[in-house]
Structure 1
Amino acid sequence: MYKYFDLFDLISLILIYFICLFPRWKSNRRYLFLKSTLYTYICFTLYFTLMPFVIPIPFINLKMSSANINLIPFNDFLLGHGGATRELFLNIIMMIPFGILVPFIYKKNFFPTIEYTFGFSFIIESFQFFSYSGLRSFDVTDLISNTLGGIVGCLLYMLFCPLATFLMDKMFKGSGKINKIPQGITKREIILLGIIIIQLLIRSILVVYI
């Protein structure tokens, strides 16, 4: 049944892109390419770390007794768990693109980029803490390794920024000006997001009985 949840998540992400985001980015091909790359990266990251996603509802699908939390850095190494090294490197690699794309798109310096990386990782870990299946956990080691990945990515950006900027200028020469981004969200965006939230709530309740 979870495969249908994945299908719903995929459709929701596609609708959000084409209804909410694409109209805002399409005026400039370079801007569209970079923003779309970041959006796609975030979607894949959330898919592999959170999906299938359910909204935590107390007394329905939220069982704090099954929640897992680890506040001891590198506890897996201390306990000799197999695969700890592999997981560490995967978590670092996972956040390298984020550390590259954020300063490239938003012109952020080193420390703001690391703050964004830490915040993104913290959001992921927080949702894992409320995982319905209880198979995921809030792990401070993941938080540290993700942040290290952001640092590596930002350093790579700083090293190759001139070359990357040169290539972008060549690829998207004369791509047009970026129009002023509309403030707030439109009525159709509100309707779309409302439908998605309602569907998520229904699914989050039904998951208990499936």
Structure 2
Amino acid sequence: MYTAVKVIDCLILLGLYLFFFLGRLKGQPKLTICLKSLYYLYLCTVFYCTLVPIIPTFDAPSINLIPFRDYFFAYGDYHRQIILNILLFMPMGFFMAWHRRRSIFSTTLTCACISFAIEVLQPWITIGRVCDITDLITNTIGALLGCLIYRAFHRFIDKLNVLS
């Protein structure tokens, strides 16, 4: 059941890309097309890792509002979860800074809002997920790091874009 729902969700995302986004990229530099396609693929990966399969649940949501509870009480694979959350949102900070060209604060705040939306949705539209404040914090840190990486290399990336 879950596999079929995941496949359907992925096919919908592929269809959106092919019929909506790809047509809007015509005439742009090759590097821009590649980066925007990677950005879309990345967003689909975040969606897949955090909200798929979409199976609405009407159970009481599971919410953790104690920052780094898993770390302090050594629950599960807390080190891995913290690192993966940071790594998951680093590309978002990078791509959002590149695509939107806003300040570090604005980019990080936008990514934090996206992370917040994901965390709030998780216990409602997926089974067995928890809304966790630690995830929000680590995702935001990852987005900030990604934004800083973009800022460090933006001149180089912009030059490549002009050459393509």
TM-score normalised according to structure 2 size: 0.92
Deviation at 1:44, TM superposition (A): 0.6
Q: Counterparts of 1:2-17 in structure 2 under 5 Å?
A: 2-17=2-17
- Asked if 1 retains the 8 angstrom alpha-carbon contact of 2:25 and 2:33, the reply is yes
- Asked if 2 retains the 8 angstrom alpha-carbon contact of 1:131 and 1:137, the reply is no
Aligned to 2:114: 120
- Give the partner amino acid of 1:13: L
- Asked if 1 retains the 8 angstrom alpha-carbon contact of 2:119 and 2:131, the reply is yes
- Asked if 2 retains the 8 angstrom alpha-carbon contact of 1:62 and 1:132, the reply is no
Q: Counterparts of 1:1-210 in structure 2 under 5 Å?
A: 1-29=1-29, 30-54=31-55, 56=56, 61-64=57-60, 67-133=61-127, 135-170=128-163, 172=164
Query: Distance in 2 between the 1:106 and 1:88 partners?
Result: 27
Query: Distance in 2 between the 1:147 and 1:92 partners?
Result: 8
Aligned partner of residue 76 in structure 2, secondary structure: coil
Deviations 1:149-191 (A, max 9, x none): 0110111111111122222223x2xxxxxxxxxxxxxxxxxxx
Aligned partner of residue 98 in structure 1, secondary structure: helix
Q: Structure 2: any 5+ residue segments left out of the alignment?
A: none
Query: Distance in 2 between the 1:13 and 1:152 partners?
Result: 27
Aligned partner of residue 168 in structure 1, secondary structure: helix
Deviation at 1:33, TM superposition (A): 2.3
Query: Distance in 1 between the 2:74 and 2:90 partners?
Result: 26
- Asked if 2 retains the 8 angstrom alpha-carbon contact of 1:34 and 1:105, the reply is no
Q: Which moved more, 1:78-87 or 1:109-118?
A: 78-87
Query: Distance in 1 between the 2:10 and 2:80 partners?
Result: 28
| Runs of 4+ off more than 6 Å | none
Aligned partner of residue 138 in structure 1, secondary structure: strand
- Give the partner amino acid of 2:114: F
Query: Distance in 2 between the 1:151 and 1:17 partners?
Result: 27
Deviation at 1:86, TM superposition (A): 1.3
Please give the root-mean-square deviation of Cα atoms over the aligned residues, in Å.
Answer: 1.4
- Asked if 2 retains the 8 angstrom alpha-carbon contact of 1:2 and 1:52, the reply is yes
Deviation at 1:132, TM superposition (A): 4.2
TM-score normalised according to structure 1 size: 0.73
Deviations 1:21-44 (A, max 9, x none): 112222313443222211110001
Residues 130 and 99 of structure 1: is their aligned pair in 2 closer, same or farther, counting only changes over 3 Å?
Answer: same
- Asked if 1 retains the 8 angstrom alpha-carbon contact of 2:93 and 2:142, the reply is yes
Q: Structure 1: any 5+ residue segments left out of the alignment?
A: 173-210
